[in-house]
């Protein structure tokens, strides 16, 4: 049987380094085995998914040269490759599961489920569905359906015993069924959830090896069960370790840039980034740290992946990127720097801000330095402001980041509207609110217009600079973060 692997990102945000990491191992393994690598878009969360995010993910993977053999943009014999275009397939499978007794209709109200959860929490139990609707008779179910009662479809989970499956990297894993919730497979609006879609698609698309992040291990029992109910053969499973920050915590955008575009925009070479990702949990048999994608593909041995969380250390990546840069010929170096700096959209935008502020050409570079290069180092005093306390400045940097993260378009006028609105709901004068943002972004008190600069730099670089300013002020403790979360929710919900 020919090997088929897949990466299945959800298009719900900016392209994530984790997606590139998973895609790299899946692609390399398929290629090594003469198989196919599939890109599938898991847009099961319709409210959070967007076309823009999908395009950005595809572009980011292409920038890394992680191309696919089948996918939503190029088609293939197992399509369509977007969940949203396969709804009929899931519906048919959900019905089959209901008929065979592997799933059941649940009419419980939100109120009952909330009470149940509270009661379980009170008893310090893990909240989960109690199987109430399993007791409904066929005629009762029919009557309630005929009456048009809203309901979901849930997976039937055994009450006793363990689910045992093999992860090829970790060995045998056993999880008591008691810990597994009767997962909703189809929501009350008729939309399927990830667990139903992913299992059905992996089977129908002929996937033979599933390589994905370790955060999915706990979902395996649900998947094993669905496969059993259908009588399908389960794939070989490999759960790759989660990438970690240097302090060993799970890599998150609050501590480390996790967006692929951050690395592109700072001028990392895609081949160096791929090389570095290939060393996450895996090493060349001869321990050499610099190697090409072709060498990786040739030497990859999945069994040698270590489950211990690899640290994604930017200093190490800088070192490796430097090795790649020094290996370029002068001509290649020139071409690549120019194509990086001369990204036409960016240049056009910069030129439009710059021209009216320029009297001589030698004023150009100093003005755009922070847009093309690193920000000048700043310290606490630079971020100080006469009418804002340090607490205010931290809050402004954090709330501005949240505002930008939820921006639906990335245009300076809309960025301006959104940030002004945040200033207003938080009770700050716009002039005060933008002052620390200005310094955090440009390292100066006077710079090109703020909102245009944010547009040019993009979300990832902007976020990284705001975060670095937060760190300069001593960071935000978990306790403070929780307080800010609460305040943000209250402010944005009213």
Closest residue by Cα to residue 211 from 72, 8, 490, 452: 8
Q: Which is nearer to ligand GLU, 163 or 320 (CB)?
A: 163
Alpha-carbon gap, residue 119 to 362, rounded angstroms: 70
Closest residue by Cα to residue 20 from 321, 325, 276: 276
Alpha-carbon gap, residue 17 to 463, rounded angstroms: 15
Q: How far is the CB of 461 from ligand GLU (least distance, A)?
A: 24
Q: How far is the CB of 181 from ligand GLU (least distance, A)?
A: 17
Q: Which is nearer to ligand GLU, 130 or 236 (CB)?
A: 236
Closest residue by Cα to residue 105 from 167, 42, 47, 147: 147
Residues 6+ apart with CB under 8 A from 228: none
Does residue number 8 form part of the binding site for ligand GLU (CB under 6 A)?
yes
Alpha-carbon gap, residue 341 to 266, rounded angstroms: 10
Q: Which is nearer to ligand GLU, 216 or 410 (CB)?
A: 216
Alpha-carbon gap, residue 322 to 184, rounded angstroms: 49
Catalytic residue among 250, 253, 380, 483, which?
253
Region 190-219 residues binding ligand GLU, contact defined as CB under 6 A: 198, 212, 216
Does residue number 442 form part of the binding site for ligand GLU (CB under 6 A)?
no
Q: How far is the CB of 41 from ligand GLU (least distance, A)?
A: 9
Does residue number 259 form part of the binding site for ligand GLU (CB under 6 A)?
no
Q: Which is nearer to ligand GLU, 107 or 216 (CB)?
A: 216
Could you tell me the two tokens for 242? 């989660």
Residues 6+ apart with CB under 8 A from 441: 370, 375, 447, 450, 453, 454, 457, 462, 465, 466
Q: How far is the CB of 255 from ligand GLU (least distance, A)?
A: 20
Q: Give residue for tokens 């399908």.
A: 232
Q: Which is nearer to ligand GLU, 125 or 215 (CB)?
A: 215
Q: Could you tell me which stretch among 8-16, 158-166, 358-366, 448-456 binds ligand GLU (CB under 6 A)?
A: 8-16
Q: How far is the CB of 120 from ligand GLU (least distance, A)?
A: 27
Q: Which is nearer to ligand GLU, 21 or 428 (CB)?
A: 21
Q: Could you tell me which stretch among 2-10, 45-53, 357-365, 409-417 binds ligand GLU (CB under 6 A)?
A: 2-10
Between helix 314-327 and helix 270-278 the angle, nearest 10°, is: 130
- H-only helix segments in 33-129: 51-63, 87-100, 110-122
Task: Identify any residues that bridge with 259 across adjacent strands, giving them in sequence order.
Answer: 16
Q: How far is the CB of 197 from ligand GLU (least distance, A)?
A: 9
**Torsion of Cα atoms, 166 then 172 then 176 then 181, to 10°:** -30
Alpha-carbon gap, residue 11 to 81, rounded angstroms: 13
Q: How far is the CB of 164 from ligand GLU (least distance, A)?
A: 20
DSSP 444: S
The three-class DSSP label of residue 39 is strand
Region 18-57 residues binding ligand GLU, contact defined as CB under 6 A: 42
Q: How far is the CB of 477 from ligand GLU (least distance, A)?
A: 29
Q: Could you tell me which stretch among 7-15, 169-177, 311-319, 401-409 binds ligand GLU (CB under 6 A)?
A: 7-15
Closest residue by Cα to residue 422 from 371, 476, 466, 384: 466
Handedness of CA 456, 459, 464, 468 (dihedral sign): positive
Alpha-carbon gap, residue 204 to 92, rounded angstroms: 13
Q: Which is nearer to ligand GLU, 241 or 436 (CB)?
A: 241
Out of 3, 4, 5, 9, the residue judged to bind ligand GLU by CB under 6 A: 9
Alpha-carbon gap, residue 251 to 489, rounded angstroms: 24
Q: How far is the CB of 454 from ligand GLU (least distance, A)?
A: 27
Geometric angle at alpha carbon 464, from 459 and 470, rounded to 5°: 125
Alpha-carbon gap, residue 173 to 481, rounded angstroms: 35
Q: How many residues bind ligand GLU (CB under 6 A)?
A: 7
Could you tell me the two tokens for 411? 């245009």
Alpha-carbon gap, residue 194 to 196, rounded angstroms: 6
DSSP 107: -
Active-site residue flag, 255: no
Q: Which is nearer to ligand GLU, 54 or 452 (CB)?
A: 54
Out of 3, 4, 5, 10, the residue judged to bind ligand GLU by CB under 6 A: 10
Q: Which is nearer to ligand GLU, 10 or 245 (CB)?
A: 10
**Residues acting as catalytic residues:** 253
Residues of this chain that interact with ligand GLU (CB under 6 A) are 8-10, 42, 198, 212, 216
């Amino acid at each position: 049987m020919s090997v088929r692997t897949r990466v299945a990102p959800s298009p719900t945000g900016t392209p994530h380094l984790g997606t590139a990491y998973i895609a790299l191992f899946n692609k390399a393994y398929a290629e090594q085995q003469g198989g196919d690598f599939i890109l599938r878009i898991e847009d099961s969360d319709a409210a959070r998914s967007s076309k823009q995010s999908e395009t950005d993910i595809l572009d980011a993977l292409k920038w890394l040269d992680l191309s696919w053999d089948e996918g939503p943009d190029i088609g293939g014999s197992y399509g369509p490759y977007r969940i949203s275009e396969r709804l009929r397939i899931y519906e048919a499978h959900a019905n089959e599961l209901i008929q065979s007794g592997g799933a059941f209709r649940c009419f419980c109200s939100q109120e009952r489920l909330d009470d149940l959860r509270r009661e379980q929490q009170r008893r310090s139990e893990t909240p989960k569905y109690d199987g109430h609707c399993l007791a409904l008779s066929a005629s009762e179910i029919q009557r309630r359906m005929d009456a048009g009662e809203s309901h979901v479809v849930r997976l039937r989970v055994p009450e006793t015993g363990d689910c045992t499956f093999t992860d090829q990297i970790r060995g045998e894993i056993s999880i008591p069924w008691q810990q597994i919730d009767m997962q909703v497979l189809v929501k009350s609006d008729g939309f399927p959830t990830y667990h139903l879609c992913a299992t059905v698609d992996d089977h129908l698309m002929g996937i033979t090896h599933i390589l994905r992040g370790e955060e999915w291990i706990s979902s395996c029992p649900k998947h094993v069960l669905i496969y059993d109910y259908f009588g399908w053969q389960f794939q070989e499973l490999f759960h790759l370790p989660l990438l970690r920050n240097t302090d060993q915590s799970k890599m998150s955008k609050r501590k480390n840039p996790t967006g692929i575009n951050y690395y592109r925009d700072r001028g990392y070479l895609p081949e160096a980034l791929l090389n570095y990702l290939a060393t996450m949990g895996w090493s060349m048999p001869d321990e050499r740290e610099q190697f090409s994608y072709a060498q990786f593909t040739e030497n990859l041995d999945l069994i040698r992946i270590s489950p211990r969380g690899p640290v994604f250390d930017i200093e190490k990546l800088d070192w490796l990127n430097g090795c790649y840069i020094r290996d370029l010929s002068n001509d290649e170096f020139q071409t690549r720097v120019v194509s990086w700096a001369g990204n036409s959209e960016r240049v056009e935008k910069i030129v439009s801000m710059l021209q009216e502020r320029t009297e001589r050409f030698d004023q150009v570079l100093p003005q755009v330095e922070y847009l093309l290069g690193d920000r000048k180092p700043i310290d606490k005093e630079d971020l100080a402001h006469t009418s804002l306390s340090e607490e205010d400045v931290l809050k402004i940097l954090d709330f501005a980041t949240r505002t930008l993260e939820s921006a639906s378009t990335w245009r300076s006028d809309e960025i301006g509207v959104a940030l002004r609105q945040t200033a207003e709901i938080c009770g700050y004068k716009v002039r005060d609110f933008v002052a620390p943002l200005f310094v955090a972004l440009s390292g100066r008190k006077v710079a090109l217009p703020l909102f245009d600069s944010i547009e040019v730099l993009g979300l990832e670089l902007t976020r990284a600079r705001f975060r670095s300013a937060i760190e300069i002020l001593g960071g935000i403790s978990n306790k403070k973060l929780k307080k800010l979360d609460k305040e943000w929710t209250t402010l944005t919900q009213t």
